[in-house]
Chains A and B, each alone.
Chain A
Amino acid sequence: MKGLSFAHRLELFGDAIALRLPDNSTISYLQLAKLADQYSSTLNKVVPKHSLLALRFSSTLSAVVAYLAALRCGKALLLLAPDLADRQTLALIERLHIAAVIRSSGEIQLSAYQHTAYKQKVRPDCALLLSTSGSSGSPKSVMLSLQNIEANARAICDYLPIESTDTAITALPLHYSYGLSVLNSHLCQGASILLTEAPLMSKEFWQQTRDFNITSLQGVPFSYQLYRQLRLERMPRPALRYLTQAGGKLNSSLTDYVQQLSSTLQKPVYLMYGQTEATARIAYLPPKLIQQYADCIGKPIPGGELLLRDPITKHLITADFTEGELCYRGPNVMLGYASCADDLTSTGVLTELSTGDLAERLPNGLYRIIGRLSRFLKIQGKRLQLDHLEQQLSVLTDPVCCTGNDELLVVAYTQQEPALTEQIQQVLREQLQLHPALYKLLQLDALPVLSNGKADYQALLQLAKESHDAG
Protein backbone atom coordinates (compact mmCIF):
# COMPACT_ATOMS: atom_id res chain seq x y z
CA MET A 1 0.00 0.00 0.00
CA LYS A 2 1.29 3.39 -0.98
CA GLY A 3 2.26 5.89 1.63
CA LEU A 4 3.43 6.22 5.16
CA SER A 5 0.16 7.25 6.73
CA PHE A 6 -3.50 7.88 6.06
CA ALA A 7 -2.52 11.43 5.13
CA HIS A 8 -0.43 10.00 2.28
CA ARG A 9 -3.15 7.61 1.14
CA LEU A 10 -6.01 10.08 0.70
CA GLU A 11 -6.07 9.53 -3.09
CA LEU A 12 -6.89 5.87 -2.62
CA PHE A 13 -10.44 6.74 -1.62
CA GLY A 14 -10.94 8.75 -4.82
CA ASP A 15 -14.31 10.43 -5.08
CA ALA A 16 -15.56 9.31 -1.67
CA ILE A 17 -16.42 12.27 0.55
CA ALA A 18 -13.74 13.09 3.10
CA LEU A 19 -14.99 16.35 4.54
CA ARG A 20 -18.43 17.84 4.85
CA LEU A 21 -18.92 21.50 5.63
CA PRO A 22 -21.86 23.15 7.40
CA ASP A 23 -22.91 24.89 4.14
CA ASN A 24 -23.55 21.44 2.64
CA SER A 25 -20.50 21.50 0.40
CA THR A 26 -18.32 18.41 0.28
CA ILE A 27 -14.66 17.71 -0.34
CA SER A 28 -13.74 14.35 -1.82
CA TYR A 29 -10.59 12.48 -0.84
CA LEU A 30 -9.09 13.29 -4.23
CA GLN A 31 -9.87 16.99 -3.85
CA LEU A 32 -8.50 16.97 -0.33
CA ALA A 33 -5.24 15.40 -1.54
CA LYS A 34 -4.94 18.08 -4.22
CA LEU A 35 -5.65 20.91 -1.79
CA ALA A 36 -3.08 19.49 0.61
CA ASP A 37 -0.45 19.24 -2.12
CA GLN A 38 -1.06 22.80 -3.27
CA TYR A 39 -0.62 23.95 0.29
CA SER A 40 2.50 21.78 0.71
CA SER A 41 4.17 23.57 -2.18
CA THR A 42 3.49 26.90 -0.48
CA LEU A 43 4.93 25.57 2.77
CA ASN A 44 8.01 24.26 0.95
CA LYS A 45 8.59 27.70 -0.60
CA VAL A 46 7.99 29.82 2.45
CA VAL A 47 9.22 27.78 5.39
CA PRO A 48 12.81 26.69 5.98
CA LYS A 49 13.53 22.96 5.93
CA HIS A 50 13.73 21.11 9.27
CA SER A 51 12.08 24.01 11.07
CA LEU A 52 9.00 23.86 13.30
CA LEU A 53 5.59 25.18 12.30
CA ALA A 54 2.54 25.80 14.44
CA LEU A 55 -1.11 25.65 13.40
CA ARG A 56 -4.10 27.31 15.01
CA PHE A 57 -6.22 24.22 14.49
CA SER A 58 -9.80 25.29 14.09
CA SER A 59 -12.40 22.85 12.77
CA THR A 60 -12.30 24.42 9.32
CA LEU A 61 -11.34 23.26 5.85
CA SER A 62 -8.28 25.51 5.57
CA ALA A 63 -6.87 24.30 8.89
CA VAL A 64 -7.43 20.62 8.05
CA VAL A 65 -5.76 21.15 4.67
CA ALA A 66 -2.76 22.77 6.38
CA TYR A 67 -2.53 19.87 8.83
CA LEU A 68 -2.61 17.20 6.13
CA ALA A 69 -0.19 19.20 3.98
CA ALA A 70 2.36 19.32 6.80
CA LEU A 71 2.03 15.55 7.35
CA ARG A 72 2.36 14.84 3.62
CA CYS A 73 5.41 17.04 3.06
CA GLY A 74 7.13 16.14 6.31
CA LYS A 75 7.06 19.46 8.16
CA ALA A 76 6.97 19.18 11.94
CA LEU A 77 3.78 20.84 13.16
CA LEU A 78 2.75 22.00 16.63
CA LEU A 79 -1.02 22.08 17.08
CA LEU A 80 -2.44 25.05 18.95
CA ALA A 81 -5.91 25.92 20.18
CA PRO A 82 -7.43 28.28 17.59
CA ASP A 83 -8.02 30.90 20.27
CA LEU A 84 -4.74 30.53 22.17
CA ALA A 85 -3.89 33.97 23.57
CA ASP A 86 -1.18 35.90 21.73
CA ARG A 87 0.95 36.07 24.85
CA GLN A 88 0.93 32.28 25.22
CA THR A 89 1.56 31.81 21.50
CA LEU A 90 4.56 34.14 21.70
CA ALA A 91 5.92 32.26 24.70
CA LEU A 92 5.73 29.01 22.72
CA ILE A 93 7.37 30.61 19.68
CA GLU A 94 10.29 31.70 21.83
CA ARG A 95 10.60 28.45 23.71
CA LEU A 96 10.47 26.14 20.69
CA HIS A 97 11.83 28.56 18.05
CA ILE A 98 8.73 28.19 15.90
CA ALA A 99 9.50 29.50 12.41
CA ALA A 100 5.94 30.28 11.39
CA VAL A 101 2.39 30.17 12.71
CA ILE A 102 -0.38 29.09 10.36
CA ARG A 103 -3.64 30.85 11.12
CA SER A 104 -6.97 29.05 10.87
CA SER A 105 -7.45 30.71 7.48
CA GLY A 106 -4.26 29.08 6.21
CA GLU A 107 -2.37 32.36 6.20
CA ILE A 108 1.28 31.84 7.15
CA GLN A 109 2.82 34.29 9.59
CA LEU A 110 6.58 34.05 9.78
CA SER A 111 8.03 34.62 13.22
CA ALA A 112 11.21 36.26 14.39
CA TYR A 113 12.74 32.79 14.26
CA GLN A 114 12.27 32.41 10.51
CA HIS A 115 15.98 33.22 10.04
CA THR A 116 17.48 31.20 12.86
CA ALA A 117 15.14 28.39 11.74
CA TYR A 118 17.47 27.72 8.81
CA LYS A 119 19.94 26.38 11.35
CA GLN A 120 17.35 24.41 13.24
CA LYS A 121 17.26 20.66 12.71
CA VAL A 122 14.04 19.27 14.10
CA ARG A 123 14.44 15.49 14.31
CA PRO A 124 13.21 14.06 11.02
CA ASP A 125 10.92 11.50 12.65
CA CYS A 126 8.96 14.20 14.50
CA ALA A 127 5.78 14.87 12.54
CA LEU A 128 3.49 16.41 15.12
CA LEU A 129 3.66 18.15 18.47
CA LEU A 130 0.69 18.24 20.80
CA SER A 131 0.30 20.12 24.04
CA THR A 132 -0.14 17.90 27.08
CA SER A 133 -2.82 20.09 28.53
CA GLY A 134 -5.33 21.20 25.98
CA SER A 135 -5.46 24.91 25.64
CA SER A 136 -3.47 26.03 28.66
CA GLY A 137 -0.40 26.61 26.51
CA SER A 138 1.69 24.34 28.68
CA PRO A 139 5.37 24.54 27.83
CA LYS A 140 5.57 20.75 27.55
CA SER A 141 4.66 19.23 24.21
CA VAL A 142 4.52 15.64 23.08
CA MET A 143 6.51 14.70 19.95
CA LEU A 144 4.78 12.20 17.72
CA SER A 145 6.01 10.43 14.61
CA LEU A 146 4.03 9.62 11.49
CA GLN A 147 4.16 5.96 12.58
CA ASN A 148 2.65 6.90 15.96
CA ILE A 149 -0.27 8.68 14.32
CA GLU A 150 -0.80 5.98 11.73
CA ALA A 151 -0.59 3.13 14.27
CA ASN A 152 -3.10 4.74 16.59
CA ALA A 153 -5.53 5.58 13.79
CA ARG A 154 -5.40 1.97 12.60
CA ALA A 155 -5.86 0.54 16.08
CA ILE A 156 -8.90 2.77 16.56
CA CYS A 157 -10.33 1.59 13.24
CA ASP A 158 -9.79 -1.95 14.49
CA TYR A 159 -11.79 -1.71 17.70
CA LEU A 160 -14.36 0.98 16.87
CA PRO A 161 -17.07 0.09 14.33
CA ILE A 162 -16.06 2.88 11.91
CA GLU A 163 -17.41 2.23 8.42
CA SER A 164 -16.55 4.01 5.19
CA THR A 165 -20.15 5.23 4.98
CA ASP A 166 -19.91 6.96 8.39
CA THR A 167 -19.98 10.67 9.07
CA ALA A 168 -18.38 11.93 12.26
CA ILE A 169 -18.64 15.48 13.63
CA THR A 170 -16.03 17.66 15.31
CA ALA A 171 -17.63 17.48 18.74
CA LEU A 172 -14.16 18.01 20.24
CA PRO A 173 -11.44 20.45 19.24
CA LEU A 174 -8.93 19.14 16.71
CA HIS A 175 -5.84 20.38 18.54
CA TYR A 176 -6.81 18.02 21.35
CA SER A 177 -5.49 14.46 20.90
CA TYR A 178 -8.91 12.84 21.34
CA GLY A 179 -10.57 15.20 18.84
CA LEU A 180 -7.70 14.69 16.40
CA SER A 181 -7.98 10.91 16.69
CA VAL A 182 -11.56 11.13 15.44
CA LEU A 183 -10.43 12.98 12.30
CA ASN A 184 -7.45 10.66 11.75
CA SER A 185 -9.35 7.41 12.21
CA HIS A 186 -12.16 8.49 9.89
CA LEU A 187 -9.72 9.56 7.19
CA CYS A 188 -7.88 6.28 7.67
CA GLN A 189 -11.09 4.35 7.01
CA GLY A 190 -12.29 6.40 4.03
CA ALA A 191 -15.22 7.77 6.05
CA SER A 192 -16.23 11.42 6.29
CA ILE A 193 -16.32 14.05 9.00
CA LEU A 194 -18.38 17.22 9.30
CA LEU A 195 -16.19 20.17 10.20
CA THR A 196 -18.26 22.34 12.49
CA GLU A 197 -17.27 25.11 14.83
CA ALA A 198 -20.69 25.16 16.46
CA PRO A 199 -20.34 24.61 20.21
CA LEU A 200 -21.70 21.44 21.77
CA MET A 201 -24.36 23.40 23.60
CA SER A 202 -25.84 25.08 20.52
CA LYS A 203 -28.92 24.53 18.41
CA GLU A 204 -26.74 24.57 15.31
CA PHE A 205 -24.66 21.62 16.49
CA TRP A 206 -27.66 19.42 17.22
CA GLN A 207 -29.34 20.37 13.97
CA GLN A 208 -26.18 19.33 12.20
CA THR A 209 -26.08 15.95 13.97
CA ARG A 210 -29.57 15.38 12.57
CA ASP A 211 -29.27 16.92 9.10
CA PHE A 212 -25.92 15.30 8.32
CA ASN A 213 -26.91 11.92 9.76
CA ILE A 214 -23.97 11.89 12.13
CA THR A 215 -23.08 8.31 13.03
CA SER A 216 -21.07 8.74 16.24
CA LEU A 217 -20.67 11.17 19.12
CA GLN A 218 -17.61 11.63 21.27
CA GLY A 219 -17.21 13.27 24.62
CA VAL A 220 -15.04 13.99 27.62
CA PRO A 221 -16.80 13.69 31.01
CA PHE A 222 -17.92 17.30 30.72
CA SER A 223 -19.56 16.60 27.34
CA TYR A 224 -21.54 13.81 28.96
CA GLN A 225 -22.70 16.28 31.59
CA LEU A 226 -24.03 18.36 28.70
CA TYR A 227 -25.55 15.31 27.02
CA ARG A 228 -27.30 14.53 30.27
CA GLN A 229 -28.62 18.04 30.65
CA LEU A 230 -29.83 18.02 27.04
CA ARG A 231 -31.40 14.61 27.65
CA LEU A 232 -29.68 13.05 24.67
CA GLU A 233 -31.58 9.84 25.33
CA ARG A 234 -34.74 11.59 24.20
CA MET A 235 -33.32 13.04 20.98
CA PRO A 236 -34.26 11.03 17.93
CA ARG A 237 -31.05 10.45 16.00
CA PRO A 238 -31.61 7.30 13.95
CA ALA A 239 -28.26 7.57 12.14
CA LEU A 240 -26.31 7.56 15.42
CA ARG A 241 -24.68 4.14 15.83
CA TYR A 242 -22.36 4.44 18.80
CA LEU A 243 -20.79 6.84 21.30
CA THR A 244 -17.31 7.09 22.75
CA GLN A 245 -16.02 8.64 25.96
CA ALA A 246 -12.47 9.48 27.03
CA GLY A 247 -10.52 12.34 28.56
CA GLY A 248 -10.88 11.33 32.20
CA LYS A 249 -12.80 9.06 34.48
CA LEU A 250 -16.57 9.56 34.79
CA ASN A 251 -17.85 10.21 38.28
CA SER A 252 -20.42 7.78 39.63
CA SER A 253 -23.51 9.76 38.65
CA LEU A 254 -22.23 10.21 35.09
CA THR A 255 -21.36 6.51 34.95
CA ASP A 256 -24.98 5.74 35.85
CA TYR A 257 -26.12 8.11 33.16
CA VAL A 258 -23.90 6.58 30.47
CA GLN A 259 -25.10 3.08 31.35
CA GLN A 260 -28.71 4.25 31.14
CA LEU A 261 -28.01 6.11 27.92
CA SER A 262 -26.54 3.01 26.32
CA SER A 263 -29.46 0.82 27.31
CA THR A 264 -32.15 3.41 26.49
CA LEU A 265 -30.72 4.15 23.06
CA GLN A 266 -29.78 0.51 22.51
CA LYS A 267 -26.46 1.75 21.21
CA PRO A 268 -22.95 0.84 22.34
CA VAL A 269 -20.93 3.33 24.37
CA TYR A 270 -17.16 2.82 24.31
CA LEU A 271 -15.44 3.98 27.50
CA MET A 272 -11.84 4.63 26.55
CA TYR A 273 -8.58 5.54 28.22
CA GLY A 274 -5.61 7.27 26.73
CA GLN A 275 -2.98 9.95 26.90
CA THR A 276 -1.55 12.41 24.42
CA GLU A 277 1.78 10.69 25.16
CA ALA A 278 0.33 7.62 23.42
CA THR A 279 -0.96 9.73 20.51
CA ALA A 280 -4.49 9.35 21.93
CA ARG A 281 -5.83 5.91 22.76
CA ILE A 282 -4.36 3.28 25.08
CA ALA A 283 -7.26 1.12 26.24
CA TYR A 284 -11.00 0.65 25.82
CA LEU A 285 -13.81 -1.22 27.49
CA PRO A 286 -15.71 -3.50 25.12
CA PRO A 287 -19.19 -1.93 25.21
CA LYS A 288 -20.97 -5.15 26.19
CA LEU A 289 -19.16 -4.91 29.53
CA ILE A 290 -20.39 -1.40 30.33
CA GLN A 291 -23.14 -2.39 32.74
CA GLN A 292 -20.83 -4.48 34.87
CA TYR A 293 -17.35 -2.99 34.44
CA ALA A 294 -17.84 0.73 33.86
CA ASP A 295 -15.22 1.42 36.55
CA CYS A 296 -12.54 -0.27 34.42
CA ILE A 297 -10.50 1.17 31.58
CA GLY A 298 -10.73 -2.25 29.95
CA LYS A 299 -8.06 -3.80 27.81
CA PRO A 300 -5.26 -2.45 25.63
CA ILE A 301 -6.06 -1.35 22.09
CA PRO A 302 -4.97 -3.72 19.29
CA GLY A 303 -1.17 -3.71 19.01
CA GLY A 304 -0.67 -2.31 22.49
CA GLU A 305 0.30 -3.85 25.81
CA LEU A 306 -0.52 -2.76 29.36
CA LEU A 307 1.64 -3.65 32.35
CA LEU A 308 1.87 -2.73 35.99
CA ARG A 309 5.06 -1.80 37.78
CA ASP A 310 5.94 -1.17 41.38
CA PRO A 311 6.17 2.62 41.56
CA ILE A 312 9.49 2.51 43.43
CA THR A 313 11.37 -0.62 42.37
CA LYS A 314 9.82 -0.59 38.87
CA HIS A 315 9.50 -4.37 39.11
CA LEU A 316 6.77 -5.96 37.05
CA ILE A 317 3.62 -6.83 39.00
CA THR A 318 1.91 -9.98 37.79
CA ALA A 319 -0.57 -10.74 40.58
CA ASP A 320 -4.21 -9.75 40.23
CA PHE A 321 -5.69 -6.99 42.40
CA THR A 322 -2.24 -5.57 43.12
CA GLU A 323 -1.74 -1.86 42.79
CA GLY A 324 1.02 -0.62 40.53
CA GLU A 325 1.87 2.13 38.10
CA LEU A 326 0.12 1.59 34.79
CA CYS A 327 2.63 1.41 31.94
CA TYR A 328 1.98 1.03 28.24
CA ARG A 329 3.95 -0.28 25.29
CA GLY A 330 2.90 0.06 21.69
CA PRO A 331 3.68 1.67 18.34
CA ASN A 332 1.74 4.77 19.38
CA VAL A 333 4.04 5.69 22.28
CA MET A 334 5.48 9.17 21.65
CA LEU A 335 9.09 9.92 20.72
CA GLY A 336 9.46 12.08 23.83
CA TYR A 337 8.67 15.47 25.31
CA ALA A 338 9.78 18.82 23.98
CA SER A 339 9.91 21.77 26.35
CA CYS A 340 12.55 23.79 24.50
CA ALA A 341 14.14 24.04 21.07
CA ASP A 342 16.99 21.70 22.06
CA ASP A 343 14.56 18.90 22.85
CA LEU A 344 13.43 18.98 19.22
CA THR A 345 16.80 17.62 18.12
CA SER A 346 16.88 14.75 20.62
CA THR A 347 17.38 11.26 19.22
CA GLY A 348 15.97 8.96 21.89
CA VAL A 349 12.91 6.81 21.36
CA LEU A 350 10.62 5.91 24.22
CA THR A 351 9.52 2.28 24.26
CA GLU A 352 7.45 2.25 27.41
CA LEU A 353 5.19 4.96 28.72
CA SER A 354 4.65 5.42 32.45
CA THR A 355 1.16 6.86 32.68
CA GLY A 356 1.35 8.26 36.21
CA ASP A 357 -1.87 6.42 36.99
CA LEU A 358 -2.11 3.69 39.62
CA ALA A 359 -4.08 0.67 38.52
CA GLU A 360 -4.82 -2.97 39.20
CA ARG A 361 -5.64 -5.89 36.97
CA LEU A 362 -8.72 -8.02 37.44
CA PRO A 363 -8.59 -11.80 36.97
CA ASN A 364 -10.53 -11.37 33.72
CA GLY A 365 -7.70 -9.23 32.34
CA LEU A 366 -9.44 -5.86 32.61
CA TYR A 367 -7.53 -2.96 34.15
CA ARG A 368 -8.96 -0.57 36.69
CA ILE A 369 -7.49 2.83 37.63
CA ILE A 370 -7.41 3.33 41.38
CA GLY A 371 -5.37 6.45 41.84
CA ARG A 372 -2.79 8.77 40.47
CA LEU A 373 0.93 8.91 41.06
CA SER A 374 1.69 12.26 39.57
CA ARG A 375 0.18 15.53 40.50
CA PHE A 376 -2.28 16.46 37.81
CA LEU A 377 -6.00 16.94 37.50
CA LYS A 378 -8.14 16.37 34.46
CA ILE A 379 -10.83 19.01 34.50
CA GLN A 380 -13.21 18.97 31.54
CA GLY A 381 -10.78 16.70 29.73
CA LYS A 382 -7.94 19.17 30.06
CA ARG A 383 -4.90 18.12 31.99
CA LEU A 384 -3.76 20.52 34.65
CA GLN A 385 -0.25 20.05 36.01
CA LEU A 386 -0.52 21.19 39.61
CA ASP A 387 3.17 21.89 40.12
CA HIS A 388 3.24 23.98 36.97
CA LEU A 389 0.16 25.89 38.13
CA GLU A 390 1.75 26.49 41.54
CA GLN A 391 4.75 28.00 39.79
CA GLN A 392 2.53 30.19 37.67
CA LEU A 393 0.55 31.43 40.66
CA SER A 394 3.60 31.94 42.87
CA VAL A 395 4.28 35.07 40.83
CA LEU A 396 1.13 36.49 42.42
CA THR A 397 1.43 35.03 45.88
CA ASP A 398 3.87 32.83 47.72
CA PRO A 399 3.38 30.32 49.31
CA VAL A 400 0.58 28.86 47.22
CA CYS A 401 -0.66 25.27 47.05
CA CYS A 402 -2.74 23.61 44.37
CA THR A 403 -4.59 20.35 44.75
CA GLY A 404 -8.05 18.94 44.05
CA ASN A 405 -9.80 16.26 42.08
CA ASP A 406 -11.13 16.04 38.53
CA GLU A 407 -14.17 18.08 39.47
CA LEU A 408 -12.67 20.78 41.64
CA LEU A 409 -9.33 22.54 41.63
CA VAL A 410 -8.25 23.86 45.03
CA VAL A 411 -5.89 26.80 45.35
CA ALA A 412 -4.76 27.72 48.84
CA TYR A 413 -2.65 30.69 49.89
CA THR A 414 -1.94 32.70 53.00
CA GLN A 415 -1.45 36.26 51.87
CA GLN A 416 -4.25 38.60 52.96
CA GLU A 417 -4.61 40.91 50.02
CA PRO A 418 -8.13 41.77 48.85
CA ALA A 419 -7.13 42.11 45.18
CA LEU A 420 -5.45 38.71 45.17
CA THR A 421 -8.64 36.67 44.77
CA GLU A 422 -9.47 38.53 41.62
CA GLN A 423 -5.96 38.19 40.24
CA ILE A 424 -5.96 34.42 40.76
CA GLN A 425 -9.44 34.17 39.27
CA GLN A 426 -8.22 36.05 36.26
CA VAL A 427 -5.35 33.62 35.69
CA LEU A 428 -7.65 30.61 36.08
CA ARG A 429 -10.24 32.11 33.81
CA GLU A 430 -8.06 33.52 31.07
CA GLN A 431 -5.23 31.07 30.88
CA LEU A 432 -6.98 27.87 31.87
CA GLN A 433 -10.55 28.73 30.86
CA LEU A 434 -11.84 27.53 34.20
CA HIS A 435 -15.31 28.53 35.29
CA PRO A 436 -15.50 29.56 38.99
CA ALA A 437 -17.76 26.56 39.64
CA LEU A 438 -14.71 24.37 38.90
CA TYR A 439 -12.36 25.73 41.52
CA LYS A 440 -12.22 26.78 45.15
CA LEU A 441 -9.90 29.46 46.47
CA LEU A 442 -8.89 29.14 50.13
CA GLN A 443 -7.25 31.91 52.07
CA LEU A 444 -5.73 30.27 55.15
CA ASP A 445 -3.65 31.46 58.11
CA ALA A 446 -1.14 28.75 57.33
CA LEU A 447 -0.90 26.01 54.73
CA PRO A 448 -1.15 22.51 56.24
CA VAL A 449 2.12 20.57 56.16
CA LEU A 450 3.09 16.96 56.75
CA SER A 451 5.69 15.94 59.33
CA ASN A 452 8.30 15.84 56.57
CA GLY A 453 7.62 19.49 55.85
CA LYS A 454 5.90 18.86 52.54
CA ALA A 455 2.51 20.29 51.74
CA ASP A 456 -0.37 18.21 53.09
CA TYR A 457 -2.54 18.08 50.00
CA GLN A 458 -4.99 15.62 51.57
CA ALA A 459 -5.74 18.00 54.43
CA LEU A 460 -6.19 20.84 51.97
CA LEU A 461 -8.61 18.84 49.90
CA GLN A 462 -10.58 18.04 53.04
CA LEU A 463 -10.69 21.71 54.05
CA ALA A 464 -11.86 22.66 50.58
CA LYS A 465 -14.60 20.04 50.63
CA GLU A 466 -15.84 21.27 53.99
CA SER A 467 -15.91 24.88 52.90
CA HIS A 468 -17.42 23.92 49.52
CA ASP A 469 -20.23 22.01 51.19
CA ALA A 470 -20.81 24.80 53.65
CA GLY A 471 -20.98 27.52 51.09
Chain B
Amino acid sequence: MSNELIQTNSAKLTVAFATALVVADTQIHDDLAYNSIKEWDSTAHMLLIAELENVFNVMLDTDDIIDMSSVAKAKEILSKYGVQF
Protein backbone atom coordinates (compact mmCIF):
# COMPACT_ATOMS: atom_id res chain seq x y z
CA MET B 1 0.00 0.00 0.00
CA SER B 2 1.40 3.38 -0.91
CA ASN B 3 2.34 5.95 1.68
CA GLU B 4 -0.05 8.32 0.05
CA LEU B 5 -3.01 6.08 0.71
CA ILE B 6 -1.94 5.54 4.30
CA GLN B 7 -1.76 9.29 4.77
CA THR B 8 -5.21 9.65 3.29
CA ASN B 9 -6.56 7.03 5.69
CA SER B 10 -5.03 8.86 8.65
CA ALA B 11 -6.53 12.10 7.48
CA LYS B 12 -9.93 10.45 6.98
CA LEU B 13 -9.75 8.99 10.46
CA THR B 14 -8.92 12.34 11.99
CA VAL B 15 -11.82 13.98 10.18
CA ALA B 16 -14.18 11.21 11.26
CA PHE B 17 -13.15 11.62 14.89
CA ALA B 18 -13.30 15.41 14.78
CA THR B 19 -16.77 15.30 13.20
CA ALA B 20 -18.22 12.80 15.65
CA LEU B 21 -16.63 14.29 18.74
CA VAL B 22 -17.02 17.91 17.62
CA VAL B 23 -13.50 18.86 18.57
CA ALA B 24 -10.64 20.41 16.58
CA ASP B 25 -8.52 18.16 14.33
CA THR B 26 -5.52 19.08 16.44
CA GLN B 27 -7.07 17.37 19.45
CA ILE B 28 -7.11 14.01 17.70
CA HIS B 29 -4.04 11.99 18.61
CA ASP B 30 -3.35 8.31 19.23
CA ASP B 31 -3.68 8.53 23.00
CA LEU B 32 -7.10 10.16 22.95
CA ALA B 33 -9.38 7.73 24.82
CA TYR B 34 -13.10 7.05 25.23
CA ASN B 35 -14.53 8.98 28.17
CA SER B 36 -11.23 10.83 28.70
CA ILE B 37 -12.79 14.01 27.34
CA LYS B 38 -16.42 14.93 27.91
CA GLU B 39 -16.96 15.20 24.15
CA TRP B 40 -16.31 11.48 23.69
CA ASP B 41 -19.44 10.11 25.33
CA SER B 42 -21.88 7.38 24.27
CA THR B 43 -23.62 9.62 21.72
CA ALA B 44 -20.36 10.64 20.12
CA HIS B 45 -19.17 7.05 20.15
CA MET B 46 -22.27 5.92 18.33
CA LEU B 47 -21.85 8.64 15.70
CA LEU B 48 -18.17 7.85 15.47
CA ILE B 49 -18.84 4.20 14.67
CA ALA B 50 -21.37 5.18 12.02
CA GLU B 51 -18.88 7.67 10.58
CA LEU B 52 -16.01 5.16 10.50
CA GLU B 53 -18.17 2.44 8.96
CA ASN B 54 -19.26 4.91 6.34
CA VAL B 55 -15.88 6.50 5.54
CA PHE B 56 -13.98 3.19 5.33
CA ASN B 57 -16.89 1.20 3.99
CA VAL B 58 -16.65 -1.51 6.64
CA MET B 59 -19.14 -3.21 8.94
CA LEU B 60 -17.66 -3.48 12.42
CA ASP B 61 -18.32 -6.40 14.73
CA THR B 62 -19.93 -5.76 18.10
CA ASP B 63 -16.73 -6.63 19.95
CA ASP B 64 -14.79 -4.18 17.84
CA ILE B 65 -17.33 -1.40 18.39
CA ILE B 66 -17.05 -1.63 22.16
CA ASP B 67 -13.32 -2.27 22.00
CA MET B 68 -12.62 1.01 20.23
CA SER B 69 -11.42 2.74 23.35
CA SER B 70 -8.85 5.09 21.84
CA VAL B 71 -7.69 6.54 18.54
CA ALA B 72 -4.78 4.09 18.45
CA LYS B 73 -7.17 1.21 19.12
CA ALA B 74 -9.42 2.43 16.30
CA LYS B 75 -6.48 2.20 13.89
CA GLU B 76 -5.61 -1.28 15.14
CA ILE B 77 -9.18 -2.48 14.74
CA LEU B 78 -9.67 -0.91 11.33
CA SER B 79 -6.48 -2.57 10.07
CA LYS B 80 -8.15 -5.95 10.74
CA TYR B 81 -10.69 -4.83 8.16
CA GLY B 82 -7.97 -4.02 5.65
CA VAL B 83 -7.66 -0.30 6.35
CA GLN B 84 -3.98 0.57 6.70
CA PHE B 85 -2.42 3.36 8.71
Q: Which residues of A approach B to under 8 Å, CB–CB?
A: 199-203, 205-206, 222, 225-226, 229-231, 234-235, 380, 429, 433, 435-438
Contacts and interface: CB of A to CB of B under 8 A. Distances in A.
Contacts of B25: none
B22 interface: yes
B51 to A, nearest CB: 10
20 contacts: A199-B35, A199-B41, A200-B42, A201-B34, A201-B46, A201-B65, A201-B66, A203-B67, A222-B43, A225-B46, A226-B46, A229-B46, A230-B66, A380-B43, A429-B22, A435-B41, A435-B47, A436-B22, A437-B43, A437-B47
Interface residues of B, number: 18
Interface of B: 22, 34-35, 41-47, 49-50, 62-63, 65-67, 69
Given A229-B50, A235-B62, A435-B47, A199 B42 contact: yes
Contacts of B50: 229
A199 B44 CA distance: 12
A437 B47 CA distance: 9
Contacts, number: 50
A201 B47 contact: no
A259 B76 CA distance: 35
A414 B41 CA distance: 32
A435 B44 contact: yes
Contacts of A380: 43
Main secondary structure of the interface of A (DSSP, over half): helix
Nearest to B59: A231
A201 B62 contact: no
Given A203-B67, A229-B65, A234-B62, A435 B43 contact: yes
Contacts of B63: 203
Given A201-B42, A201-B45, A226-B46, 13 more contacts: A199-B34, A199-B41, A200-B42, A201-B34, A201-B46, A201-B65, A201-B66, A222-B43, A226-B42, A230-B66, A235-B62, A435-B43, A435-B44
